[in-house]
Amino acid sequence: MNNNNEIFLLKLGEIVLKGLNRRRFEDRLIANVTRRLHPYGKFRVYSRQSTVYVEPKAGVECDLDGAWEAIKKVFGIVSMSRARGCAKDPDAFVAAAKEYLNDQLLAAKSFKVESKRADKTFPMTSIELSQYVGGLLAEAYPHLKVDVHNPELTVRLEVRDFSGYVHANPEPGPGGLPVGVGGRAVALLSGGIDSPVACYMMAKRGLALEMVHFFSYPYTSNEAKEKVLELAALVAPYCGRVTVNIVPFTKIQEELRRKCPEPYFTLAMRRFMMRISEMVAHRVGAEGLVTGESMGQVASQTMSAMACTQAVVQMPVFRPVIGMDKEEIVRIARKIGTFETSILPYEDCCTVFTPRHPRTNPKPEEFAEIECKYDFEGLCKEAVEGIERVQIRAKG
């Protein structure tokens, strides 16, 4: 136990439903938590009875506040509490509650005590322990009213294998599944609002992500590229380790401008993006692609248009914001901190050479005649060979 006996208790969510695979999910969660805690000190992270314990190592200075904020962005946790460890003794629970929760007990007007007895050898039942501790706290804080239905403060006691714990009012965790349990995918990251949200949502379902960004200098500026790298850094705390593959896309766009009929330009460009992204996926061992497409938002996001862009790849394409309107997407973007960066006025390659009257209801077969005019395999290979890989460090 650390010198002030403070510990984090992280409650598992849907991981507990995984049956025989549960251990694999828990191991991944523990690894993800341990990695995120690395900048804040040395911690012991372990799992018992559907709870992950995060305990600062004895004699080591740790930034508990920084560690607490970091854990809030680790998927797989349904609720989280900062707790005080104590002996498994009724009076020890009372003393720990008075010391650790004193400020909250003084500020509250009503309270109740809830107990969980995971260690069934403990001589008191959960109700008996709650009544005993609650009675003594009521005596010590006479201004407090006992309210078992809607208390301002709930004092929580846990009797577990190794120790007793006291905490109050746990915070909701980020939910989801630990990043990495669902495999790996490549996400197409633009400079807009939607694609960072799509990355966040697929990471929440356990996907580890590699990112691809298409860069068309001088049509798109270095500031636009830096904006995308900033977005990647903002979602990295949720996604874990992140690499952004910067794809040189200028030659392809100029080739399309010369040879592609204007109404088909955007879709032909998107088909190139999908081909290249799939090639990157094969290189990094990914098994799917992720886009920020939302049904009907722009001309290239009609059902038939998306069928045309998906037709050039074999692996699955995940579109987590497909059924969301812009307000819903913006709400999540604000929550994860990407919105203000996304709206910075730097162009991306999707705004270059935008057709005046784009084709909205194309058929895949329409592209056979168009694409025979250029060597798309050679162009894709050249673009992939010119990729700049940028390792991203998480922000926050």
Backbone angles phi, psi at 185, to 5 degrees: -140, 165
56/82 same-domain check: yes
383/235 same-domain check: yes
pLDDT range class, residue 374, cuts 50, 70, 90 = confident
200/317 same-domain check: yes
The reply to whether 1 falls in a domain is no
The reply to whether 270 falls in a domain is yes
124/59 same-domain check: yes
Mean pLDDT in the chain? 92
The last residue of one of the domains, among 137, 167, 197, is 167
Q: What is the per-residue pLDDT for 352?
A: 64
288/344 same-domain check: yes
Say if residue 376's pLDDT is above 50. yes
Both tokens of 209, joined, read: 């992500």
Per the confidence metrics, is the pTM higher than 0.95?
Answer: no
pLDDT range class, residue 218, cuts 50, 70, 90 = confident
The span from the CA of 305 to the CA of 324, in Å, is 18
The last residue of one of the domains, among 141, 167, 193, is 167
Both tokens of 148, joined, read: 């078992």
Pairing of strands 110-117, 153-159: parallel
Query: How far is residue 85 from each of residues 54, 158, 198, measured CA to CA in Å?
Result: 12, 9, 39
Region 181-186 average pLDDT: 97
Region 23-30 average pLDDT: 96
The span from the CA of 97 to the CA of 104, in Å, is 10
58/196 same-domain check: no
Query: How many Cβ atoms are within 10 Å of 344's Cβ, its own excluded?
Result: 13
Region 287-316 average pLDDT: 91
Check: CB of residue 88 under 8 Å from CB of residue 73.
Answer: no
Least confident interval from 129-133, 139-143, 298-302: 298-302
pLDDT range class, residue 3, cuts 50, 70, 90 = very low
The reply to whether 175 falls in a domain is no
Q: What is the per-residue pLDDT for 298?
A: 81
The last residue of one of the domains, among 135, 167, 199, is 167
Say if residue 142's pLDDT is above 90. yes
Least confident interval from 1-5, 60-64, 156-160, 352-356: 1-5
pLDDT range class, residue 371, cuts 50, 70, 90 = confident
115/189 same-domain check: no
The reply to whether 174 falls in a domain is no
The reply to whether 90 falls in a domain is yes
Helices 303-310/265-284 angle, 10° precision: 50
Q: What is the per-residue pLDDT for 124?
A: 96
Give 222's contacts (C-beta < 8 A, 6+ positions apart).
none
The reply to whether 341 falls in a domain is yes
Region 263-291 average pLDDT: 95
Give 152's contacts (C-beta < 8 A, 6+ positions apart).
108, 109, 110, 111
Pairing of strands 289-290, 184-188: parallel
Say if residue 292's pLDDT is above 70. yes
At 81-131, the pLDDT tens digits run 999 999 999 999 999 999 999 999 999 999 999 999 989 999 999 999 999
* CATH (domain of 351): 3.40.50.620
Q: What is the per-residue pLDDT for 1?
A: 37
Whether a cis peptide bond, with omega within 30° of 0, leads into 218 is yes
* CATH (domain of 154): 3.30.2130.30
Region 383-395 average pLDDT: 92
Element (H, E) at 204: helix 194-204
The span from the CA of 99 to the CA of 106, in Å, is 11
108/196 same-domain check: no
Amino acid in position 268 = A
Least confident interval from 41-45, 219-223, 280-284, 391-395: 391-395
Closest CA to 83 of 193, 194, 174, 170: 170
DSSP for 348-390 reads -GGGTT--SS--SS--GGGHHHHHTTS-HHHHHHHHHHTPEEE
239/113 same-domain check: no
280/253 same-domain check: yes
Of the chain, the percentage scoring pLDDT greater than 90 comes to 76
141/189 same-domain check: no
Tokens 């922000």 correspond to 395
pLDDT range class, residue 2, cuts 50, 70, 90 = very low
Give 100's contacts (C-beta < 8 A, 6+ positions apart).
6, 83, 84, 166, 167
Q: What is the per-residue pLDDT for 4?
A: 61
**What is the Cα gyration radius of the chain?**
26
DSSP for 168-181 reads ESPEEEEESB-TTT
244/331 same-domain check: yes
Of the chain, the percentage scoring pLDDT greater than 70 comes to 97
Check: CB of residue 166 under 8 Å from CB of residue 94.
Answer: no
**Domain limits at 112?**
6-167
DSSP for 28-89 reads HHHHHHHHHHGGG--EEEEEETTEEEEEEPTT----HHHHHHHHTT-TTEEEEEEEEEE-SS
The reply to whether 266 falls in a domain is yes
The reply to whether 35 falls in a domain is yes
Say if residue 78's pLDDT is above 50. yes
Region 391-396 average pLDDT: 80
Domains in the chain, number: 2
